[in-house]
Structure 1
Amino acid sequence: KKVKPDIIYASLSGFGLDGPYAKRPSFASIASSMSGWYRLTGDLIDPEGPPVVPAEWHGDLDPGLYAVIGMMGALLHREWTGEGQHVDVSQLDCMIAQNGIPITGYLMSGMLPYEHRRQRTGLRFMGPFEASDGWVFIHTSPRMMDRLLKGTGVDKLESREDLENWAAERKVNDVVDALVTVGVPAAPINTLKEVVEDPHVDHRGMIVSVDHPDAGTVRFPNHPIKYSGVKPEMRMAAPLLGQHNEEVLTDLGYSENEIEELRMTKVIT
């Protein structure tokens, strides 16, 4: 900061730059455990059972997104004040923020999410249901009951078992079509194979490919945000180790001789 007062620098760590746990090692699993995620996921299945690890490492992914938001805020702050910022992003802080709804519910009522669900009997028609050839998720509420009855074509649904029986007699696509037609949110619970082959996913350009010098053609999910009038392109694959050292150091004012000296002394590759 003495050299460049308006510099913006982000530090991503397990527990932040200060506090009792600041020096502890961490991974996504540690932040997810301490923030309540694994216990809450287990509670969805059985409150008396073990905690459950979700399929993806949100403790790594979500803090990265928060870091981007923090950097954008720091850029605005610099534009307004001319001051730089040290952006401190903690995995644990981010995962607690992502648990905002259940934590707020607990602080305000003293009740855990599964206890709320037990009280709200109108939610018994929401969740995963097994069809004859797969699974669907139906997301309904008491206010959608008329639509749910219309979509299922029955006069009444007295229990979750009634809806389970209705879904079990139909294919996934038939269940989804019957419900979304009347405005009840429903979707197939896809395998990854079904995700990458979905026509809507293809239409949105969500699977792209790029040629990599070591790995060959690599296919992966695209950037999810679309812009009006601009179509972002994948210009290059992930860089090799040290691929842009010379370009970056040149931009910072290093001479060719200085860069070569750094390379010879193994400061850079």
Structure 2
Amino acid sequence: MLQAGGLDETDLYQDLNQNPRQIIGELDYTRVFRETEYSGLIGERLEKVCEAGFASMDFILDFEFGGKDQPHKNIGDIAFLIPPREGFKHGDHILGVVDTKSSSETDLKKERIKNKHIEYLRQAREFRHDAHIAHIFVVFSMKGLAANEIDWYDAIEREYRDPLDATMVVLYADALAQMIDAHVSVGQRNELNLAVGDITDTIRPFFNYRAFRDSLDSEIRTMTRVADEDPSEGEQSYQEEYLQRERVLVVTRDMVDQRLRNVVENYDEIEHRLSRYPASRY
């Protein structure tokens, strides 16, 4: 419901809880809403939609944490835990610290490192022995090659290595929507669970650079946010610079879509076990 200067937030969580698929529509709609005169509460709304989205993927979080709910604290918008996966390479806990960006185009040149993001990372030190840290920006798009995630990462990179072990993730909203869709679609979720046993294993690599490096095929690992076919000189330079920095992951919808397809087509761990019932002799 529209109100002067913003949206009525009263029943948002209730609506998303009753209809998780609405989260996907909200991720699309929120960007459109930014372009209208009713954009007053768009940042807060995106936070809540992303919270619901991560929760729908069985990430563990506190809905009362962070962002606009704790405006006087210098903390991220959202914090979540991805549970560990025993026997899975790079299957440790992942602590996600999320900053949602409601602008149509994000420009990280304007994003403060000192007194903001360094604080976010240092606040995660309690997890340094038992979790990988995913430092996440949820964005609608990046403001061209000048959006500067590479230079921004270079400026903060030391914080990602000592004493923490961290990955910087630029997660496109439509890529997040694709992940959510796989979780709330009964058929697709079952296909992925039949393939690998736990749907979380399909998306875990997008939040840990080691899992990304070791679990995904080269086609996905070399995808970037710029055109792969006939790139300009500037785009080619960006691709080369980006691919040299393994702790930065810019996750697009195409990457997630290809990952989901690969899992369904190439794995049958649980389906193979299930096929043994009923036994041929009994």
TM-score range, shorter chain: under 0.3
Query: What's the TM-score once normalised by structure 1's chain length?
Result: 0.24
Using CA pairs under 8 Å that are at least 6 residues apart, name the structure with larger relative contact order, 1 or 2.
Answer: 2
